[in-house]
């Protein structure tokens, strides 16, 4: 019996031109390249220029994904944008992207799950496509986190960067078997008891300001590995696959130590792990599609590969997606 699956047709990304190295940061705050690399694996990050908005990066990434998929923008009837740094309090940045692509049909909205935003957006979009309500969608993760950083706080300002990534999804009939192409399963979680461990100290309702990112780094690290492995084990149980079946593991790019520890705990071989945190830093909702695009462009991820995605972010939120490319 056939089943409707959300198949990824193409991927694209966008990064600001400006690159900020660890050495440059060390001239501004009390830190060093060695300290940052040893604790995070980050060597550089991209920073949006003045007047360069989240929507600008999202539109660039969307155009690249559409070109990669050989898809006309006018066939897109759904846009879901994961972001914590929208252009405006309202309307949704997704409608700016919709207009920027010249699309006047369907629906577009933002989704806020911080660093888990892309996985959440992928899961929600998958559900909407499988109902048959929509046929082709853009799922985007885009951020300008540099705008919410306290550049005097060395524990956070060294971690984050700006960027965007996007994928084109299409609802397609598949045989309904284990090796179907498309999104095979997604698993989302949240636990609001941990809000104070990673948050922004501002907002329209509370302070009437944008605020700055605040984080209890050790607490986040402590919870991250357990939460990440939890939803991945759920994905394995749902599909019957195991770690040895995975061709590529594309995790949220927050910290190389978290990525390494998670892969080790799950039994995923290091050579199957896609890592871009050294070049991009933590780009929140953009990190997974940025990493996906790198691995597609360099030829690692190919059609038919089994790709495991996972993310964890403020809230806490966390989630996984298992995709047959």
Taking only the tens place, the pLDDT of each residue in 98-124 is 999 999 999 999 999 999 999 999 999
DSSP 74: G
Contacts of 59 (CB under 8 A, 6+ apart): 96, 97, 100, 101
Residue 252 designated active-site: yes
Query: How many domains does the chain contain in total?
Result: 2
Residue at which a domain ends, from 154, 174, 194:
174
Average pLDDT over residues 3-21: 98
Catalytic residue among 46, 194, 212, 252: 252
- Model confidence at 1, pLDDT cuts 50, 70, 90, reads confident
Judgement on whether residues 186 and 166 belong to the same structural domain of the protein: no
Judgement on whether residues 15 and 112 belong to the same structural domain of the protein: yes
Q: Which of 294, 227, 220 is nearest to 265 (CA)?
A: 227
Average pLDDT over residues 46-74: 98
C-alpha span between 217 and 311 (Å, rounded): 16
Judgement on whether residues 190 and 167 belong to the same structural domain of the protein: no
Query: For strand 317-324 and strand 306-313, is the pairing parallel, antiparallel, or unpaired?
Result: antiparallel
DSSP states of 229-262:
HHHHHHHHHHH---GGG-SEEEE--S-HHHHHHH
pLDDT of residue 180: 96
Residue 282 designated active-site: yes
- Model confidence at 73, pLDDT cuts 50, 70, 90, reads very high
Read off the CATH number of the domain in which 103 is found. 3.40.47.10
- State which H helix or E strand residue 322 sits in: strand 317-324
Residue at which a domain ends, from 149, 174, 199:
174
Judgement on whether residues 246 and 157 belong to the same structural domain of the protein: no
Residue 45's domain spans which residues? Answer: 3-174
pLDDT of residue 251: 98
Q: What are phi and psi of 290, to 5 degrees?
A: -65, -45
Catalytic residue among 22, 115, 187, 212: 115
User: Cα separations (Å) of 297 from 82, 97, 109, 130, 293?
Assistant: 23, 24, 28, 28, 6
pLDDT exceeds cutoff 90 at 186 = yes
Judgement on whether residues 211 and 291 belong to the same structural domain of the protein: yes
Q: Which of 257, 263, 251, 259 is nearest to 319 (CA)?
A: 251
pLDDT exceeds cutoff 90 at 284 = yes
pLDDT exceeds cutoff 90 at 227 = no
Record the pTM: 0.97
Judgement on whether residues 23 and 155 belong to the same structural domain of the protein: yes
Judgement on whether residues 256 and 117 belong to the same structural domain of the protein: no
Average pLDDT over residues 211-235: 92
Catalytic residue among 22, 68, 255, 282: 282
Judgement on whether residues 190 and 156 belong to the same structural domain of the protein: no
Helix axis angle, 287-297 to 54-69, nearest 10°: 40
- Model confidence at 264, pLDDT cuts 50, 70, 90, reads very high
Judgement on whether residues 231 and 264 belong to the same structural domain of the protein: yes
Judgement on whether residues 124 and 36 belong to the same structural domain of the protein: yes
Q: What is the 3-state secondary structure (H, E, C) of 274-293?
A: CCCHHHHCECHHHHHHHHHH
Average pLDDT over residues 156-171: 98
Query: What is the rounded average pLDDT for all residues in the chain?
Result: 97
Does residue 152 contact residue 159 with C-beta atoms inside 8 Å?
no
Judgement on whether residues 117 and 139 belong to the same structural domain of the protein: yes
- Per-residue model confidence as pLDDT tens digits over 126-138: 999 999 999 999 9
């Amino acid at each position: 019996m056939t089943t409707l699956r959300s198949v990824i047709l193409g991927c694209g990304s966008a990064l600001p031109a400006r690159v900020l190295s660890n050495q440059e940061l060390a001239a501004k705050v009390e830190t060093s390249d060695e300290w940052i690399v040893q604790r995070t694996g980050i060597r550089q990050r991209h920073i949006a220029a003045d007047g360069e908005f989240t929507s600008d990066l999202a539109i660039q990434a969307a155009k690249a994904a559409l070109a990669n998929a050989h898809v006309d923008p006018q066939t897109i009837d759904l846009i879901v944008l994961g972001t914590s740094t929208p252009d405006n309090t309202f309307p949704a940045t997704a409608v700016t992207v919709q207009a920027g692509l010249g699309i006047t049909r369907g629906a577009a909205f933002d989704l806020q799950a911080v660093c888990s935003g892309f996985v959440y957006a992928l899961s929600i979009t998958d559900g909407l496509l499988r109902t048959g309500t929509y046929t082709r969608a853009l799922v985007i993760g885009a951020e300008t986190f540099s705008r919410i950083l306290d550049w005097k706080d060395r524990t956070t300002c060294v971690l984050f960067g700006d960027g965007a990534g996007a994928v084109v999804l299409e609802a397609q009939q598949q045989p309904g078997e284990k090796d179907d192409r498309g999104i095979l399963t997604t698993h989302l979680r949240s636990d609001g008891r941990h809000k104070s461990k990673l948050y922004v100290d501002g907002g329209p309702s509370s302070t009437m300001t944008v605020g700055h990112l605040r984080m209890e780094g050790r607490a986040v690290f402590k919870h991250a590995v357990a939460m990440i492995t939890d939803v991945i084990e759920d994905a394995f149980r749902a599909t019957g696959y195991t770690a040895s079946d995975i061709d590529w593991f594309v995790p949220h790019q927050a910290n190389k130590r978290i990525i390494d520890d998670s892969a080790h705990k799950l039994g995923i071989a290091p050579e199957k792990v896609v890592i871009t945190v050294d070049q991009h830093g933590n780009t929140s909702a953009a990190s997974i599609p940025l990493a996906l695009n790198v691995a597609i462009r360099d030829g690692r991820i190919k059609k038919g590969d089994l790709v495991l995605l996972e993310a964890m972010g403020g809230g806490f939120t966390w989630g996984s997606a298992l995709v047959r490319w």
